[in-house]
Structure 1
Amino acid sequence: MEMQTEKKGRFKVPHVYVILFSFIIIGAICTYIIPAGEFDRIEQDGRTIVVPGSYHEIPENRTTILNVFESIHKGMIATAPLIFYIFIVGGAFGILRATGAIEGAVHSMAKKIAGREQLLIPVLMTFFALSGAMLGLAEETIPYITILIPLAVLIGFDSMVGTAIVLLGTSAGFTAAFMNPFTVGIAQGIAELPIFSGMYLRIIFFVIFLTVSIWYVMRYANKIKKNPKASVMFGEKNALIDSSDSDQTFPFTTRHKLAFFVLLGTLVGLAVGVIRFEWGLTQMTGLFLIMGILIGLVSRMNFSSMAESFIKGCEVLIMGALVVGIANAILIILREGLIMDTILYGLASAVDSLPPQLAALGMYIVQCLVNYIVPSGSGQAALTMPIMVPLSDLLGVTRQTAVLAFQFGDGISNIFTPTSGYFMAGLALGGISWIKWVKWIWPLIAIHYVLGAIFVTIAQLINYQ
């Protein structure tokens, strides 16, 4: 009886949908409290940017009860390309899983790296970090999660490690990038700085940031390898590893090798398409759909089996894919309630009142806060940098430091906030709940925020140019 009473009284974390809907309600209430306002915007070099000093109040557009529920549908529509990218990637990998190729490849690879499992983490995380730091890749790396989770589990880790190698590796590179065209490139362009200037200091920061991230994952991996019950995922089922953690032996046949040859060709084609032809989600989605069909053909599956496997792959991702749209509804509420610019104006005004010694740190904090409501790197650059650049001139902060403050403020929360689409997509593919991820990652996020503050302060002290 006492145990039952204790169990009933224990707090249970709400479902992620409940949490997100609560944020939508809070955003709607804010439209009744925060004055509506906007900045003027102009087109420059194909981008819409904010005109500094142009903020003005406008008639209010308060959110009604119906608007709250409409925002979810609008959020789904606005993020439809990413949602369907998640579904189709999941469906394509559903066909791959149905062939048994993943189990065969994972078992074969696990035997080859026996005794050297730890090397997998730094090598792969560095690879993903460089793809984020130099190419600005994010969504493009998500499919690797499907392959790495079974491998991580089989060599004694868990699905959290497999997911973190991809998400945390890519995010570390994206955040501490030295030549990311979508963040550093755009921000420096708006700040009228030579593109990718100041690279040497950024490379140093990149190495430190990535090293800390690798240490965090390896520390956790070591702990659960010694004691599997220490895993935050202990006892939870995962569709990607239903058969990977058994004692059964899985052969890696010629058909399996052909299937992985198609997968490898797809990933190479994806890299070429993104870098050379500037592919978007539509082209990437089409490529994975082709991949799924080709894998089915080389594995001699009939078309009905392909379709059934595709649907099963999609089913696994329903909750995670829809989270992307629901999270975007929060941004819809703030934009349509006309308070997004007011929030930005208030934050910028707070920085303006800081002494010069703290101005750079204040700009960094503002960028960190803005990223929770504008998770797009290029979008945040276009929104904030036209304001922060002249503000930095007035406060005695170098423009290069202002770009650095934006860069770290924009990137750190991308693997923490539920409004980050690619991050939620990665969790969906990994079968990890947002709550579980937050419990595991928050100490590292705190370390990252401290590192970002230190880096920006150093840049200010050395008059970073």
Structure 2
Amino acid sequence: MNQSSMRNEEKVNQPSMRNEKKRRFKMPHTYVLLFGVIVFAGLLTYVLPAGQFDRYEDPETGRELVDAESYASVDADPQNLFDMLMAIPKGMENGAYIIFFVFIVGGAFGIIQSTGVIDRGINYTIEKMNGKEIWAVPLFIILFSFTGSVMGLAEELLPFYPIMVVLAIRMGFDSITGVSLVLLGAGAGFAGAFLNPFTVGIAQGVAELPLFSGMGFRIIMFSTMVLVTAIYIMIYAKKVKADPTISPMYELDKKRDLVLEDVDETAGFSVRHKIVLAVFLIGLVFIAFGVIQLGWYIHELSAAFLIIGIIAGVLGGLGINRTAEEFIKGAAGITFGALVIGIASGIIVVLEEGRVLDTIVYYLAGSVSALPSFLSAIGMFFVQMILNFFIPSGSGQAAASMPVMVPVADLIGMTRQTAVVAFQFGDGITNVFNPTSAYFMAGLALAGIPWEKWAKWVWPLILIWIAIACVFLIIASSIEFGPF
């Protein structure tokens, strides 16, 4: 081959080599992304002025609220690199209750899975669907949307994540479809909630509006969010069923033990399986009663799932020793995601110890009043989305932001009901991709889905949700959406 031919061949190969380099770019690891956010939060403590609101306890509800008129400058406490690193174990300490809840749920699920009852139940469901598996998507989306809209369930839904993942994969979909049934179903209900006591209830209480007023408008919001979400996931699920390789989780899903496990498709429920299933269902009813009637939260839920797992293992024929072994395996399988919760909690630690969290709330609220009136509602919505990154608790965000946002709404001529809508959309939409949200990261951990893969997949739907929120906020502003 002469030199001229060699040079021509090199020119031909150069573009392909450049393309190969481009294809080699990978999204940073979840831990790397979160640590980068911690460093960014630390840098904010050097840039933003330190300040704090006074807080007081509402005598009627016992909730801690912000005094909107009390913001004042305080001595700065910028966080150095060592402080940022210390924020990680502190975040793990602060998030220990949810981290260990995830470990316990994962361990209990490992026990129940090892009895074979979930495999039999999934096979039974698939057999009954009889080629109509795609219709399971809207069915579960509607079911979980009501849990988010009416009861405000979040952490309480964590046990369903691994179950829905296995069900979706066995139906020919992927793990992202399975997670979407729970996370996006409940998320759509949360964002368009009409009876959620932890978001709408608290926000309306702070805004001095009749409890759950404006329900008709919110039911339309709820229905729109759920319908669009169901259609979006159905379209994706159909594509994955036709070509599994398009799934971002294709390679990882192939490695799952739950997928590769050899199950007799014709096997029915044995007596032991029926007993384990009864234990699980009775346990869920017991938990629902505890949450609704007795005010249970993470500690009680953790104990309840631990009891369910132990009883299921013993009655399912595993014996004491194997029950313990399967618990350890189930808990070990979600270590990656459980630690993510603690690392994400470190972001809040940096901002609080750097005394800039209240500063962020104060200046973001003030930015809304500077907007033209027709953009104020949308501006408040985006402010609430940003605040949810720093205050990922729905009830906590309502208690911290609404006392500040209500006077801003009054000042610019926005109805307080519209301000509540801006809050619930801003809080609800970000809940399904916010890496500082403990229950969201816990759900991904239980499902075995890396945050970066989920975030890349869900963004188109997030943009659709944002567009829907903006439309409803424009309507609310136009009609001067009031108390009723």
> What TM-score do you get using the length of structure 1 for normalisation?
0.97
Aligned to 1:14: 28
Q: CA deviation at 1:163?
A: 1.0
Q: Could you say which residue in structure 2 is the equivalent of 1:94?
A: 110
Look up the equivalent residue of 2:354 and give its one-letter code: G
Give the whole-Å Cα distance in 2 for the aligned partners of 1:410 and 1:244.
39
Partner Cα distance (2:267, 2:86) in 1: 49
Q: How far off is 1:355 after superposition?
A: 2.4
Q: Does 1:306 align with 2:320?
A: no
Read off the aligned partner of 2:381 and give its amino acid letter.
Y
Structure 1 runs of 4+ with >4 Å offset: 1-9, 244-251
- Asked if 1 retains the 8 angstrom alpha-carbon contact of 2:115 and 2:317, the reply is no
> What does residue 434 of structure 1 align with?
451
Q: Distance in 1 between matches of 2:295 and 2:17?
A: 58
Count of aligned pairs between the two proteins = 465
Match among 39, 51, 58 for residue 37 of structure 1: 51
Deviation at residue 360 of structure 1 after TM alignment: 1.5
SS in 1 for 2:468: helix
- Counterpart of 1:128 (choices 114, 134, 144) is 144
Kept after mapping to 2: 8 A contact 1:79/1:328: yes
Look up the SS of the partner of 2:252 in the other structure. Answer: coil
Provide the C-alpha distance between the structure 2 equivalents of 1:240 and 1:219, rounded to a whole number of angstroms.
27
Residue correspondence of structure 1 range 194-213 to structure 2 within 5 A: 194-213=210-229
Say which SS state the counterpart of residue 27 (structure 2) adopts.
coil
Residue 53 of structure 1: how far off its partner (Å): 2.5
- The question of whether the paired residues in 2 share the 8 Å contact of 1:92 and 1:288 is answered with yes
Rounded Cα–Cα distance in structure 2 between residues aligned with 1:233 and 1:69: 31
Per-residue CA deviations over 1:418-459 (Å, capped at 9, x if unaligned) read 111111111111111111111110000111111111111110
State the 1:242 CA deviation: 3.1
Root mean square deviation, CA, Å: 1.7
Using the TM superposition, give the Cα deviation of residue 244 of structure 1 relative to its aligned residue in structure 2, in angstroms.
5.3
Change (3 A) 1:384 1:190: same
CA distance in 1 between counterparts of 2:307 and 2:202 reads: 33
User: Structure 2 regions of 5+ residues with no counterpart?
Assistant: 1-12
- Measure how far apart 1:5 and its partner are: 7.9
* Separation in 2, partners of 1:74, 1:48: 22
Establish whether residue 219 from structure 1 lines up as the match of residue 235 from structure 2: yes
Q: Distance in 2 between matches of 1:240 and 1:270?
A: 29
Residue equivalent to 1:161? 177
Could you tell me which of 390, 393, 397 is aligned with 1:380? 397
Taking structure 2 as the reference length, the TM-score comes to: 0.93
TM superposition shift of 1:212: 0.6
What 5-or-longer segments of structure 1 have no aligned partner?
none
Deviates more, 1:49-58 or 1:181-190: 49-58
Equivalent residue letter for 1:399: R
Is 1:362 equivalent to 2:379 in the alignment?
yes
| Residues 8 and 361 of structure 1: CA distance in aligned 2, closer, same or farther (over 3 Å) | closer
Q: Secondary structure at the match of 2:204?
A: helix
Question: Could you report, residue by residue, the CA deviation over 1:23-73 in whole angstroms, capped at 9, with x for unpaired residues?
Answer: 111111111111101112221131111112221111101112221111001
Counterpart in the other structure of 1:74: 90
The answer to whether structure 1 residue 268 and structure 2 residue 285 are counterparts is yes
Aligned partners of 2:169 and 2:259 also within 8 Å: no
Q: Which whole-Å deviations, capped at 9, do the CAs of 1:342-397 have from their partners, x for residues lacking one? A: 11111111111122222222211111111111110000001110011111111110
1:238-272 deviation digits (Å, cap 9, x = unpaired): 54623358786655322112111111111111211
The DSSP-based 3-state class of the residue aligned with 1:178 is coil
Call closer, same or farther: CA 1:246–1:438 in 2, change over 3 Å. farther
Question: Which amino acid is 1:350 matched to?
Answer: S
Q: 2:333 aligns with which of 316, 334, 356?
A: 316
- Cα 1:357–1:114 change in 2 (3 A) is same
Aligned partners of 2:414 and 2:352: how far apart in 1? 30
8 A Cα contact 1:41 1:50, kept in partner:
yes
Which stretch shifts more, 224-233 or 63-72? 224-233
| 1:235 match: secondary structure | helix
Query: Is the partner of 1:415 in helix, strand or coil?
Result: coil
Aligned sequence identity (%): 47
Alignment partner of 1:332 out of 341, 349, 372:
349
Name the CA distance, whole Å, in 1 between partners of 2:82 and 2:266.
55
Residue of 41, 50, 59 corresponding to 1:27? 41
SS at 2:390's partner residue?
coil
